[in-house]
Chains A and B, each alone.
Chain A
């Protein structure tokens, strides 16, 4: 295909797409002017019915919990896929990489990074746990708290070495934690079936409004999702770092 034909095809396709999109944008409701039927309904329902003061969580983990279960397993499958692709291949060996610039010393980790990384780890972990535990009360929940928890582990790696993480967990323990988190969601969902209603129906006692132990099954779901996301994300990072820092193709190991 010559450049001219290519340009004509692009202008035709691009022009049509631009015209259609401009037409669609013109027909959109004004910014913030559209209100669905379910929003106001759930705003008035989530607190009196299930004692959930964060309506976003009420939607995600209660009223449409089944969709969230699907989303959680998308993440589960993604972590599984990464672990499968990044597994050690035949011929790959554990070792340090060949140093190509022997005249230059590797710069040490700066003291600022060390102090900040280690100093920020406990507050980050605490904040992650807080976000998981208060998902039904304030913005946040299992997904958000889980990623914050994983950041805490990342900070340890940033402040130190990859080896520092090996004392913290094993890959097998992470895999187990991730699986327990994923299964926990289903387990909590089965409570609804056991109570004689529907899967993921919130049948547990709802407690006092605003208390950490309230909102029925929602804190339990948040805890299991938090465990799954935190373990899964750390597993993901560990796999990437292991593949880059530890595994070498044969012949690329320094002696």
Chain B
């Protein structure tokens, strides 16, 4: 394992913990998006650029967007 891989793995571990530790859903969506980018970097460093590409779009953009949109819908109906 190269130092770069170790560093990214530690970042991913910290990112995953941060997602769980964030209790407010809106913030959690943003942290999850950052976590998606970290995962994509990890995949890239581990020589899987194609998986990294999918992860950037799905993990960092599509999933947080769906959470945001769902939150907007739920909160709009609460008042």
Contact = CB atoms under 8 A, between A and B. Distances in A.
Contacts, number: 53
Nearest to B62: A233
Contacts of B65: 154, 237, 240
A147 B69 contact: no
Nearest to B61: A151
Interface stretch (A9-17, A191-199, A241-249): A241-249
The interface centre, meaning the residue of B48, B53, B70, B77 with most chain A CB atoms within 10 A of its CB, is B53
Contact of B49 (A32, A139, A241): A139
A240 B66 contact: yes
A141 interface: yes
A224 to B, nearest CB: 17
A141 B72 contact: no
A144 B54 CA distance: 5
A154 B58 CA distance: 12
B57 A148 contact: yes
B23 interface: no
B24 interface: no
Interface in A19-76: 31-32, 56
A253 to B, nearest CB: 12
Nearest to A54: B50
B70 A150 contact: no
Contacts of A150: 57, 62
Interface residues of B, number: 19
The interface centre, meaning the residue of B48, B50, B72 with most chain A CB atoms within 10 A of its CB, is B50
B54 A147 contact: yes
Nearest to B72: A244
Contact of B69 (A31, A139, A240, A252): A240
B21 interface: no
Interface in A198-251: 233, 236-237, 240-241, 243-244, 249
Given A32-B1, A252-B77, A241 B61 contact: no
A97 interface: yes
A233 B58 CA distance: 10
A154 B63 CA distance: 13
B70 A144 contact: no
A100 B79 contact: yes
17 contacts: A31-B1, A32-B1, A139-B49, A139-B50, A139-B53, A140-B50, A144-B53, A147-B57, A147-B58, A148-B53, A151-B61, A233-B62, A236-B62, A236-B66, A240-B66, A240-B69, A244-B76
Interface of A: 31-32, 56, 97, 100, 131, 139-141, 143-144, 147-148, 150-151, 154, 233, 236-237, 240-241, 243-244, 249, 252
Q: Give 9 nearest A-B pairs by CB, closest first.
A: A147-B57, A139-B50, A244-B73, A139-B49, A144-B53, A240-B69, A244-B69, A31-B1, A244-B72
